[in-house]
Structure 1
Amino acid sequence: MPSSVHKVLIHGENIIRHYSLLPSRNKDYKRYRLDHSRKCSRVSTNEDVFHTLLYTSDPYITSLRKSYRKMSKELLDEAVNVLNLS
């Protein structure tokens, strides 16, 4: 039996259990495929998506990215009064 088949058959459960903790990136894949890849061929599209997924999952590169702060808006006095009534 080839070693790769042995690994899948015997140790497959452990591999699946280990990688089940990773988040699903389906939404990211779809967005990167639609907005950030070449559309001339499937190979180039998948290559672009793969590269984008690689650099977005790297913790060091992600730490270099600027964090965007949401602009906080203050509530009107009437809104504060309504919230205090409840």
Structure 2
Amino acid sequence: MATEAGTPQGGSISPALANEYLHYVFDLWADQWRSQHPRRDVVMVRFADDIVMGFEHRSDAERFQQDLRERFHKFALELHPDKTR
């Protein structure tokens, strides 16, 4: 199937562009969020489009998830409901 928009799935440039995009959309934003909002430590690990977060307080995790949904919405992205908890 021909790609009509964007980069072809599996193309060599696709992972690099996705990583660059998520660096702006997620990494920089998450670093700023971590410096302003949580009550305690937050651990963040991202590999490609997989993200694992660790919070000491459930309320911080819930706030982050809501803020992240709003952030992603601005960029036409969404969290996968079966992979987000």
TM over 0.5: no
More strand by share: 2
Tell me: higher relative CO, structure 1 or 2? Use CA pairs within 8 A at least 6 residues apart.
Answer: 2
More helix by share: 1
